[in-house]
Chain A
């Protein structure tokens, strides 16, 4: 008996290493990036495209260096990061909380769902000028704009995760004597976790877009303000450098989330018959 178990167990363990990233992928990525940069630089050098419009990798690198060398970027970067952080935290906390309430209360869910869809269908970016009118030129209006994007993503992805929880898991837990609170903590929440993580990553992207675009409309400080002034001076390298900074920031935060996700969702790795 235990022989069967151990051989079956080894069989299970053998498929485990499938998720590792081989070195060839890293090499291929580096080559792809190098080829892209070389093509860009070469195209400008050969005169195929106008360097004044598309800049060059070297130009962008120089702009980046200038931004960080004398610390010119830090006050604006700080403002933007603060806005993203507040909007992201609020979106996550309130989005998940609302989803839990709507999941437990079908009447409320059915009443509100057309309104939620309507809000979510609005082009929130177009509301940006109004938010500035209502909440002022400071960080509040940017937080609201970013939150208006992130909240719905978090709400809908959590709600999607909480739906169709395996009924057998709920029944089994109830029959063992689980309370509603334990059902949530031990069954519903872990079940929704893959959906929540998918939502977290999207929410971060939309919150940072909302914050920067809000700053571009009207603000006292922030990367969006810098972007506007670089655009006004036709400083293409500066604009691209700033966009690169935002992208790298979001990528770094996403990487942290993915690390957490990989740890928490270890159970679903490499398997085929897992829910979701």
Chain B
């Protein structure tokens, strides 16, 4: 486990221009190729921390580096996946997956090849020519994942992308995300309030304090990979980790 540090956050404070800090004294280190889940009660600043790393929110003080340089929105090595699928309603599934590649400056032929491959990977082959208005919520998120991973970036920042899905659909999406991530070698920071989701996906679950002081606990998820979200439901160790995280999360909200 001797890997380079991809994201480093030291003494971060965020104020949104207000006298009181939303976040203060936040420390975080994420290794290259690591899958980290940020979990915490609502209002703990987990999305804010993610947005700082994405370059969407400025730091009031402290240093943040991503792959050795300062965060900036629109960086060509970072991909941000929003909570809502944000598919263009006037483009088909294929068109939407190609959109990310188009904005990344990939040529037409390569774009079509890569989009077809990733649409296939998320199991939307039969729906490739459909418009988003004809897709279920789960299919839309799959298209959104295909768009994100087709561009092949080094760092994926995900802000509760599955929060609108029912628990059954979530499990399917978890497996698909894991499949996409395992072949990509990318670093992932995944914000969620769903303990099961965090454990299923991540190498490390970081619990954030409700007081806005950042990470207060860390749970190492030593479940073997490749994982199957459905099989984990019956795994005793998974449930141990779940209990351990739940206790920690409850303590963090005090």
- Are the CB atoms of B90 and A267 closer together than 8 Å? yes
Q: Which residue of B lies closest to A275 (CB)?
A: B89
The residue of chain A having its C-beta at the shortest distance from the C-beta of B95 within the complex is: A267
With CB as the reference atom, state the residue of chain B lying closest to A16.
Answer: B134
Interface code B73-94, partner A: CB below 8 Å = 1, 0 otherwise?
1111011101010101111000
Output the least CB separation between A15 and chain B (Å).
7
Please, which residue of chain A has its CB at the minimum distance from the CB of B119?
A: A5
A190 CB-CB contact with B under 8 Å: yes
A175 near B80 with CB under 8 A, answer yes
Give the residue of B103, B125, B132 whose beta carbon is less than 8 angstroms from that of A176: B103
Known: A4-B123, A5-B123, A12-B135. A168 touches B84 (CB 8 A): yes
Complex Cα distance A174/B73, Å? 7
CA distance A175 to B148 in the complex (A): 11
Residues of B within 8 A of A25 (CB): none
Q: B125-136 vs A: 1/0 string, CB under 8 Å?
A: 111001111111
* Least distance between A18 CB and chain B CB atoms (Å): 12
A168 to B85, CA, bound (A): 9
Within 8 A of B (CB), among A105-122: none
Q: Dominant SS at the A interface?
A: helix
- Write the chain B residue with the least CB distance to A12: B134
A125 at interface by CB-CB < 8 Å: no
Q: Closest CB of chain B to A100's CB: distance in Å?
A: 18
Given A9-B126, A186-B99: A177 touches B74 (CB 8 Å cut-off): yes
Q: Which residues of B contact A178 (CB under 8 A)?
A: 74, 103
Q: Let me know if A177 and B104 touch, CB within 8 A.
A: yes
Tell me if A1 counts as interface (CB < 8 A to partner B): yes
Are A175 and B123 closer than 8 Å at their CB atoms? Answer: no
Residues of A within 8 A of B66 (CB): none
A190 touches B130 (CB 8 A): no
Instruction: Please give, as numbers and ranges, the residues of chain A lying within 8 Å of B39 by CB-CB distance.
Output: none
Q: Is B214 interfacial (CB-CB < 8 Å)?
A: no
In the assembled complex, B100 has its CB within 8 A of some CB on chain A:
yes
A168 to B144, alpha carbons, bound, how many Å? Answer: 13
Residue of B75, B126, B130 touching A2 (CB-CB under 8 A): B126
Rounded to whole angstroms, the CA-CA distance of A190 and B131 in the bound complex is 14
Q: Does any Cβ of B come within 8 Å of A182's Cβ?
A: yes
Partner of A190 from B90, B134, B136 at Cβ < 8 Å: B90
- Whether B100 and A176, one on each chain, are in contact in the complex, defined by CB atoms closer than 8 angstroms, is yes
A-B contact pairs, 29 of them (CB 8 A): A1-B172, A4-B123, A5-B123, A5-B139, A6-B125, A6-B126, A8-B127, A12-B127, A12-B134, A12-B135, A166-B86, A168-B82, A172-B82, A172-B86, A174-B74, A175-B79, A176-B99, A176-B100, A176-B103, A176-B151, A177-B76, A177-B103, A186-B99, A190-B88, A190-B90, A193-B90, A271-B133, A274-B89, A274-B133
Instruction: Report which A residues bind B (CB closer than 8 A).
Output: 1-2, 4-6, 8-9, 12-13, 15, 166, 168-169, 171-178, 182, 186-187, 190, 193, 265-268, 271-275
- Given A12-B127, A173-B99, A268-B133, 13 other A-B contacts at CB below 8 A? A1-B172, A2-B126, A5-B126, A6-B127, A8-B126, A168-B82, A174-B73, A175-B78, A178-B74, A267-B91, A273-B133, A274-B133, A275-B89
